[in-house]
Amino acid sequence: MHSLVVTFALIGVIGVGSQWIAWRLRLPAIVLMLVAGVLAGPVFGLIDPEQDFGAALGPMVSVAVALILFEGGLTLNFKALSDAGGAVQRLVFLAAPLGWATGTLTAHYVAGLSWPVAAVFGGILVVTGPTVVMPLLRQAHLAPRPASVLRWEAIVNDSVGALFAVLAYEFTATVIKAGNLGEAAGHLVIGIVVASALGFAAGRALVYAFRGGMIPEYMKVPVLFVSVIAAFAAPNELLDESGLLTVTIMGIVLGNSSLPSFNELLRFKEHVTVLLVSGVFVILAATLDEGMIARLDWRAAAFVAVIMLIARPVAVWLSLIGSTLENNERALIAWVAPRGVVAVAISGFFATKLGALGLEDAEALAPLAFALVATTVVIHGFTVTKVAEKLGLVSSERPGVLIVGASRWTAALAKALQDLDIPVLAADRDWARLKPFRLQDTPIYYGEILSEAAEHRVNLDRFGYIVAATEKDEYNALICTDFGPEFGRNNVFQLGRTDDGGDDPRALPPTLGGRKLFQSGASYHVLEGRMMDGWVFTRTRLSDEFGFDDYLEARAEGSELLTDIRGDGSLSFSTVSGRPKGNPGDILLSFAPQKAGTEETERRKAEKREKRADRDEAEE
C-alpha cells in the first residue's frame, strides 16, 4: 500500500512515458499505454484505482471526460467542415448516424448487450479519433483525396460520437428513473434544452469576455479551465450527466468564434488533453480484472469482426452513394477506422454510470472497447499500406517541401520549387509575413506548426522534407528535432546558425536540430542580405552533353547549389557536410547573383558549345 501521491506519480509516468516511448519508436501510443496499464494494475498490483481513490474515482473520471469532450468540441469547426468537401459532410451527417445504428445492432445481437447499453456503446463506436488516424495516414502515404476525407472524419467524429453516447445515456437514465416513458421524454427534452442553452450561453459569455479584454491574457487559460468544470457541474443537478452535453456545445461555440487568442486556448487544450487521456486510459486499463477479461469470449471476437467487416463498411458505402469518390476510394475509407483512446475513456465512464442504474451487462463495455481498440489499431496499422497499394491509392505525387518561416528568401524558394511542380506549404505564425506567399498562390498554414491543431489540419503525409528557415536558430532546431523521427533525420533541414557558439556554454549543441543547408551554412540574415542584393534561384538541367562538372565550371562565381531534383522526383539537398552530384536528367536548383548568374552562365555555356564543336570538327 503506497500513498495517493505515489499513485498519481505512477499514473503520470506510465501514461506520459508510454506516449513518449511511442513517439520515439514510432509506434501506436495506445497499444503501449494498454500494455503498461495492465502490467501496472492486474499483473503487478502497482495501481488499484478503486482502492487508491475510493469514492473520488468516479468524480475524477467524470471531470476528465468532460474536459476531453470540451476539447472535441473545440476542434469541430463548421467552416473547416464546409471546406472539407461533400464526402466528409456525408460521413458526418449520414455515415455517423448509420454507424450508430449498425454499431447498436451489432452490440445487441452479436455481443449480447441489452438495448440501453448497446445504444450507448453504438454511439461510442462512431469515434475513430485523430490520435490514431493521423499516424496511419502519414505511414501509408495515401492519395490526397482519401487521406483528406479520413483525416477530417476522425477530427469531427471525435465529438459527434461522444454526443451520440451522451444522448443515448440521458434517454436510458431518464427512462429508468422516471419509470414512465411520457414523463421521461418530457424530462429528457427539458434537460437537453437547458444543457444546450447553458453550453451556448457559457461559450458566448467567454467569447464576449475574451474579445472585450475583460480577462487578462495570463488568466484566460485558468478562467477557461474553471468555466468548463462549472459548466459541467451545473446542469447535472437537473439531468444526470447532462453537463457532458453542455461542455461539448460550449467547446463548439468557442471553436467557431474566431477568437484572437484561440491559439493559446488550443495549446491549453493540447496539454491538458494529453495528460487527461493518458491518465484516464491507464486508470481504466489498471481496473481490468480477471472477470472482465474473461468476458472476452467468442462473442467478443465476433463483435469485433462484424464491426470491422460489416457495420463500418455498410455505413460508409450507404452514405457515399452518389458522391464523387471512386469505388476504390470508398473501399479504403470503409476499411480504415481505428478506434482511439477517447473511445476507451468514454466507454469506461459510461460503464460505471450504466452499472449504477442497475444494468449489470455494462461491465462488458470496457473490455469490449479495449479489444476493439487494440485490434483495429494493430490490424489497420499493418494493412493500410498494402490495401492502399492493391486499390491503387498510394500517392504518386512528388514528395513536397514544408517550409517553416516566412521571409523574402523562403517566398522565392517556394516559387522556384512550385515552378518545378514540387508541392510546397509555407507555415508561419505571422499573417502579414505570409502575404508574399498568398500573392504567388503558394499554399500556407497560418499558425503554430508544432501544435495539435496543425497536426489535424495539415496533411503532413504529402511532404517528405522540412526546411526550418525562421530567423530564430533555436526555433529552427526545435522544428527539426520534433519532426526528425517522423520525416527521418536526413530529411529535416535548417538554415545555418547566426552564431555557432564556439566555446559559448549558452550556445545550442551542434548535434541538436537538422542538417544545415548550403555548403557554406548560410544563415537567415546572410540569405536575406543576398535577396536584397538581387540574388535569385536558377535551375540547370543536366544531360549527357552537359554534366555535373560542366555545371560547376559554368555556374556564376559565388552561387550555391541548394538541391538536386532527381528523375524520380526525390530531392537531395546540399548541406555543410556535402553536396549531391547530379546525374543526366536531374535538375539542379541554385541560389546565385542575378546578373552574374545570367551573363556568366550563358558565356561559359557558349564557350563549352564552341569547344565541343571544335572537337567534333577535328574528329571529322
Residues whose CB falls within 8 Å of the CB of residue 603, separated by 6 or more in sequence, listed in order: none
Question: b or e along 534-557 (b: 16 or more beta carbons within 10 Å of the residue's beta carbon)?
Answer: ebbbbebebeeebebebbeebbbe
Residue of 314, 318, 319 lying closest to 335 (CA atoms): 314
Residue 427, phi then psi, degrees to nearest 5: -120, 135
Residue of 107, 128, 109 lying closest to 117 (CA atoms): 107
Residue 149's CB is within 10 A of a number of other CB atoms, namely 26
DSSP SS3 for 431? coil
Q: Which residue has the cell 456503446?
A: 121
- 263 compared with 310, residue with greater pLDDT: 310
* DSSP per position, 454-482: HHHHS-GGGEEEEEE--S-HHHHHHHHHH
Rounded CA separation 584/602 (Å): 19
* Secondary-structure class of domain 397-504 per CATH: alpha beta
pLDDT digits 0-9 by tens, 502-561: 545 545 555 567 889 998 889 999 999 999 988 999 988 888 888 888 888 888 788 889
Rounded CA separation 511/513 (Å): 7
Could you tell me the three cell numbers for 555?
555556374
- Residue 38's pLDDT is what? 81
- Residue 292's pLDDT is what? 67
Residues paired with residue 195 on neighbouring β-strands, in sequence order: none
Tell the burial category of 475 from Cβ atoms under 10 Å away from its Cβ (0-12, 13-18, 19+).
Answer: middle
Q: Which residue has the cell 468516479?
A: 58
Mean pLDDT value of segment 386-399: 81
Question: b or e along 243-260 (b: 16 or more beta carbons within 10 Å of the residue's beta carbon)?
Answer: bbbbbbbbbbbbbbeebe
**CA angle in degrees (0–180, nearest 5) for 315-454-252:** 60
Mean pLDDT value of segment 579-590: 87
Domain ranges within the chain, ordered by starting residue = 4-390, 397-504, 534-620
- 96 compared with 598, residue with greater pLDDT: 96
Answer whether 368's CB lies under 8 Å from 161's CB. Answer: no
- 499 compared with 498, residue with greater pLDDT: 498
Among 67-76, 78-87, 415-424, 529-538, name the one with the lowest average pLDDT: 78-87
Answer whether 351's CB lies under 8 Å from 292's CB. Answer: no
- 379 compared with 2, residue with greater pLDDT: 379
Rounded CA separation 149/323 (Å): 12
- Residue 5's pLDDT is what? 85
Per-residue pLDDT at 158 exceeds 80: no
Among 161-175, 179-193, 359-373, name the one with the lowest average pLDDT: 179-193
Tell the burial category of 325 from Cβ atoms under 10 Å away from its Cβ (0-12, 13-18, 19+).
Answer: buried
Q: How far is CA 215 from CA 67, 103, 260, 271, in A?
A: 21, 44, 13, 21
Structural Rg of the chain based on CA atoms? 28
Q: What percent of the chain has pLDDT over 70?
A: 83
Mean pLDDT value of segment 195-221: 87
Per-residue pLDDT at 592 exceeds 70: yes
Q: Per-residue confidence at 3, pLDDT binned at 50, 70, 90?
A: confident
- 349 compared with 240, residue with greater pLDDT: 349
Residue of 176, 193, 45, 26 lying closest to 114 (CA atoms): 176
- 504 compared with 126, residue with greater pLDDT: 126
Q: Per-residue confidence at 269, pLDDT binned at 50, 70, 90?
A: low
Q: How far is CA 494 from CA 483, 489, 525, in A?
A: 12, 12, 13
* DSSP per position, 479-547: HHHHHHHHH-GGGEEEPBPS---TT-TTSPPTTSS-EEBSTT--BHHHHHHHHHTTEEEEEEE--SSS-
Residue 398 DSSP label: P
Mean pLDDT value of segment 97-123: 91
Share of the chain residues as helix, strand and coil, in percent rounded to the nearest 5: 65, 10, 25
pLDDT digits 0-9 by tens, 297-320: 888 999 999 999 999 999 999 999
- Which H or E run includes 444? strand 444-446
Per-residue pLDDT at 597 exceeds 50: no
* Secondary-structure class of domain 534-620 per CATH: alpha beta
Rounded CA separation 295/250 (Å): 37
- 345 compared with 314, residue with greater pLDDT: 314
How does strand 560-565 pair with strand 587-593? antiparallel
Among 246-250, 452-456, 591-595, name the one with the lowest average pLDDT: 452-456
Per-residue pLDDT at 82 exceeds 90: no
Averaged pLDDT of the chain: 81
Rounded CA separation 176/240 (Å): 12
Per-residue pLDDT at 414 exceeds 90: yes
- 203 compared with 166, residue with greater pLDDT: 203
- Residue 546's pLDDT is what? 86
What's the CATH number for 4-390? 1.20.1530.20
HSE at residue 575, side-chain half, CA atoms within 13 A, is 15
pLDDT digits 0-9 by tens, 279-293: 877 887 787 776 666
Answer whether 495's CB lies under 8 Å from 407's CB. Answer: no
Residues whose CB falls within 8 Å of the CB of residue 552, separated by 6 or more in sequence, listed in order: none
